């Protein structure tokens, strides 16, 4: 059975801000699924619809078999939600936060105490269990957020941008934590991220989201394999990238060439063999390259391939 | 729902008790008002219309109500903090009763105000006030509880509608002093201009003052006191309903 089904969900804020525009995907039970996309692509809105915070304007969504619109109570009992903006009480201790969450979820007192102790232990928070959350480091606070979401042993866990704002060390620690989590309990996890490497590492399947809908969906490896060969990125002088794209795109070894800003991205079978050919062609046409990089395909390239736009540029523009 | 209201109320009370400066101010400030006003206006009872020559007697219920009114009207700041930090959204993604989230907050203000009223009463009695007997004391506590609950409901409602600290502060200040002065909290009703007396009858602060002071003055009219308490109860219930309505309207904007 699918733990999460999202079918043609629509959401418009105000008159014309289309946050979700036919969002569709499903997640089988026990899978870690990543919603990947730049800021403003509609990832958080999707999660907010699924955790019953936001009502969709159209379409249908179920979580753990319950319709989010018709039976929100059953959905809330089945899910854990770790919002992007933490949501723990900074003026309470870690343990108090967990206990309150358990009580709000309707757990009984002995079970609440036992489970809180268990989670504090698992997330390495025992030493700070009775300290106020405002004294926690960013990484500790985020681990408490996740623990809070797990308090009542949910069937489905929603993690909205679990590592945004963490330093690289804390992010690496969180990744290990989440990997262990995915392995241990029979838990379905939906995580949103705008870090491509995070989705690549944690998610068994990803859906790349842009402008309120899924552009492509699949296992990260398959998505990357779908882009045969390597990517050659050529940096050019201002205003020459379109001309360069025509030249590079016409070469026999190049499968695809996309101009983006002052760069041209070309997909080729073997980067090392293609670079001299590309450089010679550009030189010959009087559009010399400033710099060249060759890389194995990443989810960046998958995004570029399917949307025709650069992930980072979209991220900074907030998806507009 | 009652259980969840109590948990959520307990959470905010516990957080408050962890702030030593907050406790000191909450304890000292009302006592300070009582001492200051009772000295400043000591001779005021030479004027006719007070019905008592002891201004402390007159003032003690007034300061209890004033304190409750102020702590109620600023209560919305806590709601805005919860909104900003995502605490409210985390609660909303649980099966917790929606009403409990609002009622827990209102109950918090009412309990704080009642505790403060106890302190004020003890201070007043130490300074020589009598405020009738135990019956009068109980009415003072009840009036403080209800007036704090009512204004806390209003304050949380406004917090949920505006969702901005600056707007919240502006509203609290805008209603604060006018409601205080459109009442007989500090000064005998007979000394207030007639039109203000009439308008003051629409003011919940005045209802609370009149109820709380009823037994301190000669010619106690328990029926009138009961009527004011009933009005306060209706006010508190209406404001709780208003806050719940604002909460639903906030949820619709998510």
Residue of B nearest to A51 (CA): B93
pLDDT at B184 over 90: no
Annotate A250-309 with DSSP letters as a single string. TSTTEEEEEEETTEEEEEES-HHHHHHHHHHHHHHTT--EEEEEEE---HHHHHHHHHSS
B89 contacts A85? CB cut-off 8 A: yes
Q: Which pLDDT score is estimated for A319?
A: 45
- What is residue B122's DSSP assignment? H
Please tell me the pTM assigned to this model: 0.84
pLDDT at B187 over 50: yes
pLDDT at B130 over 80: no
Chain A CB within 8 Å of residue B21 CB: no
Residue A221 CB-density burial (10 A; 0-12 exposed, 13-18 middle, 19+ buried) = exposed
Query: H helices within chain A, ranges in order?
Result: 43-50, 72-78, 94-104, 109-122, 138-150, 168-184, 196-202, 220-226, 241-249, 271-284, 299-307, 311-317
A81 contacts B14? CB cut-off 8 A: no
Question: From residue B87, how far is each of A63, A145, A282, B92 by CA, in Å?
Answer: 23, 11, 56, 9
B86 contacts A85? CB cut-off 8 A: yes
Mean pLDDT of A17-35: 94
A171-180 contacts, C-beta under 8 A, 24 or more apart: A171/A198, A173/A139, A174/A139, A174/A142, A174/A143, A174/A146, A175/A201, A175/A202, A177/A123, A177/A143, A177/A146, A178/A32, A178/A146, A178/A202
- Residue-wise over B1-17: b if at least 16 C-beta within 10 A, else e? eeebbebbbbbbeebee
**Using 50, 70 and 90 to split pLDDT, how confident is the model at B161?**
very high
Q: Which chain A residues have a beta carbon less than 8 Å from that of B91?
A: 104
**Contact of A190 with A156, CB cutoff 8 Å:** yes
| C-alpha neighbours within 13 Å on the C-beta side of residue B136 | 23
Q: Which chain B residues have a beta carbon less than 8 Å from that of A87?
A: 85-87, 89-90
Q: Which pLDDT score is estimated for B44?
A: 83
CB atoms within 10 A of CB A164: 16
| Gap between the Cα atoms of A291 and A233, Å rounded | 8
Chain B interface disruption, residue of A51, A93, A104, most B CBs within 10 A: A104
Tens-place pLDDT, residues A281-313: 999 988 889 999 988 877 777 888 888 777 777
Q: Which chain B residues have a beta carbon less than 8 Å from that of A107?
A: none
A96 contacts B85? CB cut-off 8 A: no
A48 contacts B254? CB cut-off 8 A: yes
**Contact of A236 with A289, CB cutoff 8 Å:** yes
Chain A CB within 8 Å of residue B7 CB: yes
**Using 50, 70 and 90 to split pLDDT, how confident is the model at A318?**
low
Sign of the Cα pseudo-torsion (A131, A134, A139, A144, in order): positive
Chain B interface disruption, residue of A50, A77, A91, most B CBs within 10 A: A91
Mean pLDDT of A163-186: 84
The first and second tokens of residue A136, run together, are 């926690």
Tens-place pLDDT, residues A45-67: 999 999 999 999 999 999 999 99
């Amino acid at each position: 059975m699918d733990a999460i089904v999202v079918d043609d969900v629509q959401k418009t804020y105000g008159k014309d801000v289309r946050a979700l525009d036919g969002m569709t995907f499903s997640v089988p039970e026990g899978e870690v699924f990543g919603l990947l996309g730049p800021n403003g692509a509609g990832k958080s809105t999707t999660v907010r619809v699924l955790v019953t915070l936001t009502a969709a304007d159209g379409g249908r969504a179920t979580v753990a078999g319950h319709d989010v619109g018709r039976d929100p109570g059953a959905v809330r009992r089945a899910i854990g939600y770790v919002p992007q903006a933490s949501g723990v009480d900074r003026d309470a201790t870690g343990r108090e936060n967990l206990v309150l969450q358990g009580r709000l979820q309707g757990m009984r007192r002995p079970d609440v105490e036992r489970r809180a102790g268990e989670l504090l232990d698992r997330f390495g928070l025992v030493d700070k269990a009775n300290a106020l959350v405002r004294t926690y480091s960013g990484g500790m606070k985020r681990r408490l957020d996740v623990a809070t979401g797990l308090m009542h042993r949910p069937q489905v866990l929603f993690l909205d941008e679990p590592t945004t704002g963490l330093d690289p060390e804390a992010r690496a620690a969180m990744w290990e934590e989440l990997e262990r989590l995915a392995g241990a309990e029979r838990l379905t996890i939906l995580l949103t991220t705008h870090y491509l490497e995070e989705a690549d590492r944690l998610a068994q399947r990803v859906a790349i989201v842009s402008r309120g809908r899924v552009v492509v969906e699949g296992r990260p490896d398959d998505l990357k394999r779908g882009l045969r060969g390597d990517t050659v990125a050529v940096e050019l002088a201002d205003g020459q990238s379109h001309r360069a794209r025509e030249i590079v795109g016409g070469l026999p070894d190049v499968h695809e060439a996309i101009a983006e800003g002052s760069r041209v991205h070309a997909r080729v079978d073997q980067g090392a063999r293609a670079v001299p050919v590309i450089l010679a062609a550009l030189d010959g046409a009087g559009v010399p390259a400033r710099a060249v990089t060759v890389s194995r395909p990443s989810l960046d390239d998958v995004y570029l391939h399917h949307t025709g736009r650069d992930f980072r540029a979209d991220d900074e523009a907030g998806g507009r | 729902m009652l259980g969840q209201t109590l948990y959520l109320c307990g959470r905010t009370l516990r957080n408050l008790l962890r702030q030593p400066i907050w406790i000191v101010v909450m304890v000292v400030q009302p006592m300070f008002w009582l001492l200051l006003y009772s000295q400043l206006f000591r001779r005021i009872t030479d004027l006719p219309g007070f019905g008592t020559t002891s201004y402390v007697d007159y003032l003690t219920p007034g300061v209890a109500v004033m304190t409750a009114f102020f702590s109620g009207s600023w209560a919305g700041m806590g709601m805005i903090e919860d909104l900003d930090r995502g605490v409210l959204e985390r609660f909303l993604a649980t099966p917790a009763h929606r009403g409990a989230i609002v009622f827990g907050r209102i109950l918090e203000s009412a309990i704080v105000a009642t505790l403060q009223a106890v302190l004020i009463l003890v201070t007043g009695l130490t300074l020589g006030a009598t405020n009738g007997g135990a019956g009068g004391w109980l009415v003072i506590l009840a009036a403080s509880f209800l007036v704090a609950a009512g204004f806390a409901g209003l304050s949380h409602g406004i917090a949920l509608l505006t969702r901005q600290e600056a707007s919240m502060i502006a509203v609290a200040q805008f209603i604060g002093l006018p409601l205080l002065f459109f009442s007989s909290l500090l000064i005998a009703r007979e000394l207030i201009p007639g039109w203000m007396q009439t308008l003051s009858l629409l003011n919940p602060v005045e209802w609370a003052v009149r109820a709380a002071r009823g037994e301190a003055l000669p010619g106690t009219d328990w029926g009138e006191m009961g009527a004011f308490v009933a009005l306060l109860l209706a006010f508190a219930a209406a404001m709780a309903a208003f806050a719940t309505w604002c909460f639903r309207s906030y949820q619709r904007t998510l």
